[in-house]
Structure 1
Amino acid sequence: MNLKNQLLFGLLIWAAFSCTSGQADKKMEKLPYFNLSGFVDLELAKLDGATVTKISEINGEETTVDKTFSLQDWKEEFEAFYSADINTPALALSYSTETEGEYLIHRLLPDSKGKVKEIKIRYIKEYPVAISIRTTDKNLFFSSITVGELYMNQATEKIDHYAIETTQKVWFLDPTHIKISGAIR
């Protein structure tokens, strides 16, 4: 009787893991574009507790700090990359996908509406080593342009450094220029 229970238990565990991995593979297959938020999640998990030398510049005033980030801090720091993920049903046909040498590029089609204008991923040996994003947001009272870049260290397979630059303009006010860059140690 004990052997039957063990076999049944083993079969149930095997079935549970096979169904889960199959569902994950199917989800990945359905994504029409590079899974930016998934990639950032995987890479930030490697940085939990890492120290960064962060340079913040707001309208020309620069501040440099060395800071240790938790996983939540990293997610807040990389919010621009999370918000640039274009894998939503509403955007499924809004971007062209091209390859130019070692680059995979998603560009917003001319007649499509979307904040993310371009995502460019540089691959070396089928692994992303650099990602850049360009987003714009504009309405009657407000406009913003954001450019973000992150670079991977091929030896450690972790994010090495990053930069996020934003210019915001509110109607009747001077533009605000914000630049954040960091080198991870």
Structure 2
Amino acid sequence: MKFQNLLLVLLAFAFYACGSDLEKEQSEMEVLPYFDLSGFIDKEVSELPDSVLVSKGTRVNGDQKFADVVLSREDIAKELEIFKEADINKPTFALSYETQVKGRYLIHELKDGEKGKLKTMTVTYGNDEVTGLTIKMKEENIFYSSTTIASLYLSARGFNLDHYSVETTQKIRWMEPNNMKISGVLRMD
């Protein structure tokens, strides 16, 4: 019984010690070093109505289809998940990207020698508001490569999400590449 109590105390102490490291990392990231891509996507999706008419296009290896569909807020969030995956505001990336401002563009670019899927993020501004953003992600090893280019744009009418596209090309060694693209234009008339 004493052994079990001692074990519980040690586990509780270990859990507390790990928790304080996590809190320390989070407090160090209170000021985000890069554009808050995840927070931006959450905000834009939360401002959408419960359901939206979307003119949606899909292309898989050249075979295209277009349709008007009604998507829920959650469906649109899933379509934009790649942007949240590209968020680089993590302690491991704190010094991995160079940031430049060129006119109305904010650009985060992976530094030479650093590792990360996100290669570039370009945020476009107009009248001090975000009007669009583009990301390029790349992953490769000796057997596989994948490149994704995703963009989204906001309406000049009210800076609401207007349209988006996500295109991915995947190549497995000794096979033909796969190219997939989804795009959507939100109809908020």
Interval of TM-score (by shorter of Structure 1 and Structure 2)? 0.7 to 0.9
Query: In structure 1, what is the equivalent of residue 161 of structure 2?
Result: 159
- Greater than 4 Å deviation, 4+ residue runs: 26-29
Q: Kindly indicate whether the alpha-carbon contact (under 8 Å) linking 2:154 and 2:161 is maintained by their aligned counterparts in 1.
A: yes
Q: Report deviation, 1:69.
A: 1.4
Give the partner amino acid of 2:161.
Answer: I
Q: Report deviation, 1:28.
A: 7.8
Query: In structure 2, what is the equivalent of residue 136 of structure 1?
Result: 138
Is 1:93 aligned with 2:122?
Answer: no
Query: In structure 1, what is the equivalent of residue 76 of structure 2?
Result: 74
Cα distance per residue 1:127-182 (max 9 Å; x no partner): 10010000001123211000011000021321111111110011222100111111
CA distance in 2, matches of 1:94, 1:44: 28
* Percent identity over paired residues: 42
Is 1:46 aligned with 2:47?
Answer: yes
Provide structure 2 residue ranges, at least 5 long, that are not aligned to the other structure.
1-26
**Cα distance change of structure 1 residues 184 and 60 upon mapping to structure 2, 3 Å threshold:** same
CA RMSD of aligned residues (A): 1.5
Query: In structure 1, what is the equivalent of residue 185 of structure 2?
Result: 183
Q: Report deviation, 1:111.
A: 1.5
Give the partner amino acid of 2:169.
Answer: T
Query: In structure 2, what is the equivalent of residue 30 of structure 1?
Result: 31
Cα distance per residue 1:16-39 (max 9 Å; x no partner): xxxxxxxxxx88852110000100
Q: Kindly indicate whether the alpha-carbon contact (under 8 Å) linking 2:169 and 2:177 is maintained by their aligned counterparts in 1.
A: yes
Say which is worse superposed, 153-162 or 101-110, in terms of deviation.
153-162
Give the partner amino acid of 2:71.
Answer: F
CA distance in 2, matches of 1:75, 1:28: 25
Is 1:127 aligned with 2:129?
Answer: yes
CA distance in 1, matches of 2:33, 2:63: 41
- Tell me the SS of whatever aligns to 1:30: coil
Cα distance per residue 1:3-22 (max 9 Å; x no partner): xxxxxxxxxxxxxxxxxxxx
TM-score w.r.t. length of structure 1: 0.82
Q: Kindly indicate whether the alpha-carbon contact (under 8 Å) linking 2:146 and 2:168 is maintained by their aligned counterparts in 1.
A: yes
Provide structure 1 residue ranges, at least 5 long, that are not aligned to the other structure.
1-25
CA distance in 1, matches of 2:53, 2:86: 25
Cα distance per residue 1:17-74 (max 9 Å; x no partner): xxxxxxxxx8885211000010011101122311110000000000111111112211
